[in-house]
Chain A
Amino acid sequence: MAIPTRRPSLFLAAALALALLSACSGPREYFSVIPDRDGKTGQMVVTPRQGNALALDRTNASATVRGGEISPAKLSEAELKEMYKEALAAQPMAPARFLLYFVEGGDILTAESQRELENVLAEIKKRPAPDLIVVGHTDRVGSVADNDRLALRRAEKVRSQLVAQGFSPEGISASGRGEREPLVATADEVAEARNRRVEILVR
């Protein structure tokens, strides 16, 4: 009776050795979460080919995957900075953000915002390969659908003003967010000058 009991354990040992071998060979992958410019991390879930997913949600939380199997990893901020030195150094500059405001109900910029366009042009000149995103917003006066159209019209207007200043049209995208993203929360149908705006991102 001793032999049949030993055999399965031998098989088990062999299988275990094989599994260990496959887990310890082959290329390694690393995954880490680091905070953004505002110090926020959020969560990322790493799902390996085999086994359970691992959620990483603290600053510098890391995991490694090898042979399709995942395990937590301990990497310090200094180690991550060294490991990803070139990739981190190649991150594009953060977009510069400008807000321009409109006279109620239409696509005419306020006088002050018309002057602010000069600063936008100055920022464009600072960047090696600038592209612009112009996003129009409205206050909550009028229907959602009308405000989607007005928001887009505002963005298009600013876009055409920048094109008139000589900026390449294919480098500017214009879109509208309607009344979805007010700067100042209000009840519906409330006129609010600070929400009648376009946001320009110079990237």
Chain B
Amino acid sequence: MKFTWLGFLSCCAVFGLVCSCPVVAQVAAASAAGQTAPAWVAQVKVSRGIVRIERGGQRFPSPVGARLKVEDTVITEANGSVGLMFADNSTLSMGPGGEVFLHTFSYDPTTYMGAFDAFVKQGTVSLQAGNLAQGAPDSVKIRTPQAEVKGNARQFLVSVEEKK
């Protein structure tokens, strides 16, 4: 029994490797083929009141047209709201007093494969699904301090009360 289990486990590991390799290769091939994808992942389309982007410990203002990268944090003040559009046409918009960290965003426009992972620390957020959710529903993930959300919902709302 022991031997079979080990065999089974190593089979799983090999299978996992085989499965993950083509994805990496595909992404690499897409960029090698001279695909002209910009380095940024989202753009600010709507910005009202005070909105900031925190990047590498520094805070920047976030006017309409500003571009966002992975690992940026978007912060809205008490009078602020913001609407972002991502490369896969998904949108994320936030009401006042919000903070969202863009943990992961990868997107292959040829295959629609990739991953979206954002952490909503506080505030009200509306998310409209884009091409990623079409490629693989579990590729879109929203995390909050107390829960995790996944799925192919076309539009969802998340609200996290401020920690007092």
Contact = CB atoms under 8 A, between A and B. Distances in A.
Chain A contact residues: helix, strand, loop or mixed: mixed
A90 B46 contact: yes
B149 A31 contact: yes
Interface stretch (B14-22, B53-61, B92-100): B92-100
Contacts of B139: none
Contacts of A92: 45-46, 83-85, 91, 93
Interface stretch (A10-18, A40-48, A100-108, A186-194): A40-48
A156 B36 CA distance: 8
A64 to B, nearest CB: 9
B60 to A, nearest CB: 16
A42 B43 contact: no
Nearest to A160: B36
A65 B147 contact: yes
A118 interface: no
A42 B152 contact: yes
Interface of A: 26-36, 38, 40-49, 55-57, 65-68, 70, 80, 83-93, 95, 128-129, 131, 133, 135, 148-149, 152, 156, 159, 170, 172-178, 180, 201, 203
Given A89-B81, A91-B128, A92-B93, A31 B158 contact: yes
A85 B156 CA distance: 14
B162 to A, nearest CB: 7
B26 to A, nearest CB: 11
A22 B34 CA distance: 54
Given A156-B36, A175-B110, A176-B110, A83 B124 contact: yes
Contacts of A68: 146
14 contacts: A28-B161, A29-B158, A33-B153, A56-B156, A84-B159, A87-B98, A90-B83, A91-B91, A128-B45, A128-B64, A152-B33, A174-B36, A176-B110, A203-B45
Nearest to A151: B110
Contact of A45 (B46, B91, B149): B149
A87 B153 contact: no
B157 A47 contact: no
Contact of A84 (B46, B84, B157): B157
B109 to A, nearest CB: 4
Nearest to B158: A31
B7 interface: no
Contacts of B123: 87
B69 interface: no
Nearest to A85: B95
A159 B36 contact: yes
Given A29-B160, A87-B126, A90-B93, A44 B153 contact: yes
A42 B140 CA distance: 13
Nearest to B108: A175
A27 B110 contact: no
Nearest to A131: B43
Given A87-B81, A174-B36, A49 B147 contact: yes
Contacts of B84: 92
A42 B151 contact: yes
A36 B157 CA distance: 12
